Structure 1
């Protein structure tokens, strides 16, 4: 009977330790969002999701590529007012926003037209964020 009691407490202890370890490995893990969409609703979802996780302690990198570069173009402020306001708030809160140089060229977006604080990316910047330890990734 005593052996069963000890075994039961050991199982409970292991479950508690296991839950603590699982929680510790996910708190603060970086998030990398790959945003290719220029659809206003989908872009707002992507940026909002990222900002919400940033506010919860997860370092955020939002990578704007393909049509996503149009969302950060100040010439499109009338089309993306909420998205641009949220991108600026994300930057102000410590999030990183990268924009694809090749995609900017394809869509005719000049560096001077990009919201302040957004970095024109290169393989080193993007790779450092994407391959940081314990990074989680999502795409929109």
Structure 2
């Protein structure tokens, strides 16, 4: 019985420790942001900002309802989020706008706030599929 319990504990510890061993100190972080909800969107941006400041290259992908965070029309209602996006862009983060989402929301590339890049297969794919990239969604 003790042998079986020991084997289970060893196996469980392998599953817990393995992801930690596989994570490098500077793995890129890709945040999929789809909400325009004030608290959730700011939490996502600030989470990325924190990890970017510790050396993790950051990409924030704006899609669905989060489109408004990356367009000039959102400046009055989402000033805090746009300020936070501007700060991460200024420190080297990549903020990508989903093109079909932008169009669906009734906006176009000239409507983007400064520093936000229009996505596409290459731009988005290069960030998302970079070796070691970790993803989170809000």
TM value normalised by structure 1: 0.81
Structure 2 counterpart of 1:94:
92
Q: Which runs of 4+ in 1 moved over 2 A?
A: none
Q: Which moved more, 1:93-102 or 1:25-34?
A: 25-34
Q: Is the 8 A contact 1:70 1:109 kept in 2?
A: no
Partner of residue 40, structure 1:
38
Q: Deviations over 1:84-127 (max 9, x none)?
A: 00100000000000000100000012212211111000011111
Structure 1 window deviating more from structure 2 (109-118 vs 63-72): it is 109-118
Deviations 1:33-64 (A, max 9, x none): 00011111111011111111100100001000
Unmatched 5+ stretches in structure 1:
1-17
**Matching of residues 18-29 of structure 1 within 5 Å:** 22=21, 25-29=23-27
- Structure having the higher Rg: 1
Q: Secondary structure, in 3 states, of the residue corresponding to 2:26?
A: coil
Q: Counterparts in 2 of 1:1-140, with a 5 A limit?
A: 22=21, 25-140=23-138
**Deviation at residue 74 of structure 1 after TM alignment:** 1.2
Q: Secondary structure at the match of 1:98?
A: strand
Q: Mind listing any 5+ residue stretches in structure 2 that lack a counterpart? A: 1-16
